[in-house]
Structure 1
Amino acid sequence: MHSEHHVASWFPVCTLDDIVPNTGVCALVKGEQVAVFHVDDGNARVYAIGNYDPNSHAAVLSRGLVGSLGERVVVASPIYKHHFDLATGECLEAPQHSVSAFAARVENGQVWVAA
């Protein structure tokens, strides 16, 4: 389902080493605040979701606590502790307040986010 008109562009955000494992940083991608997370449980991965928490109306998700709930890798918002699925952006406690999720990858130590 790839349309020529909506091909995502990849933007370099930082190096993987710039993000302490199991924490996030805030990056500006195409003018939008994106929370980029480095998750390492023996297998380093990166995730990117919108940084704005609709529950608290604050751009704080990059500062949240990373953990897991069952199979899901989540971040807990620092304000109301809502959990957001890092793969999908879904807010577990309030799905109507879910955020965008972005494709993210690491290439040669560089973190890229698609927008």
Structure 2
Amino acid sequence: MTAAPGATTTWTTVCPLARIDVEGGVTALVGGRAVAVFRTHDDAVYALDNVDPFSRASVLARGIVGTRGDVPFVASPMLKQPFDLRTGVCLDDPEVRVASYAVRVVDGVVEVAAPEPGPGG
């Protein structure tokens, strides 16, 4: 995700990286949205919307984190659809996706960029 020229990114502090289990996830409220933050086996950190678009349940942070080839993904705990942690695209149905968010780790603390407001917001 890139910011528009002149735009300021608002970062929300989530937690220390050490509080997220390897191949696990946590949920945080970021800009009024439930966001799932994941840590992979190689300590990469990603953030997606927490709502599974297939079941409409807010559960992705409790999914199984793994890789398919070189693609890091989370499998929904409801119906097991895998979502690319980098883009939010469903690996089994590319027409379906969840929003992904910029993430950074500063001094061992995970921060997620707040979603940009939609039109009129």
Could you state the TM-score of these two structures normalised by the residue count of structure 1?
0.91
Unaligned runs of 5+ in 2: 115-121
Within 5 Å, give how 1:37-48 maps onto structure 2: 37-41=38-42, 44-48=43-47
Cα deviations by residue, 1:15-72 (Å, 9 ceiling, x for unpaired): 101111110001100110000001133xx11100000001111011000000000110
Q: Counterpart amino acid of 1:49?
A: L
The secondary structure found in structure 2 opposite 1:105 is: strand
Count of aligned residue pairs for this structure pair: 112
Does structure 1 residue 34 correspond to structure 2 residue 3? no
Unaligned 5+ residue runs, structure 1?
none
What SS is found at the alignment partner of 2:61? Answer: helix
**Residue equivalent to 2:54:** 55
Distance, in Å, in 2 between the alignment partners of 1:100 and 1:107 is 22
Aligned to 2:111: 112
Percentage of identical aligned residues = 47
In terms of fraction of residues, the more helix-rich structure is 1
Counterpart of 1:3 in structure 2: which amino acid?
Answer: P
Q: In proportion to residue count, which structure has more strand?
A: 1
Instruction: Specify the SS of the correspondent of 2:98.
Output: coil
| Residue 94 (structure 1) shift | 2.1
* TM-score (normalizing by structure 2): 0.87
Measure how far apart 1:111 and its partner are: 0.2
Superposed, 1:67-86 pairs within 5 Å as 67-86=66-85
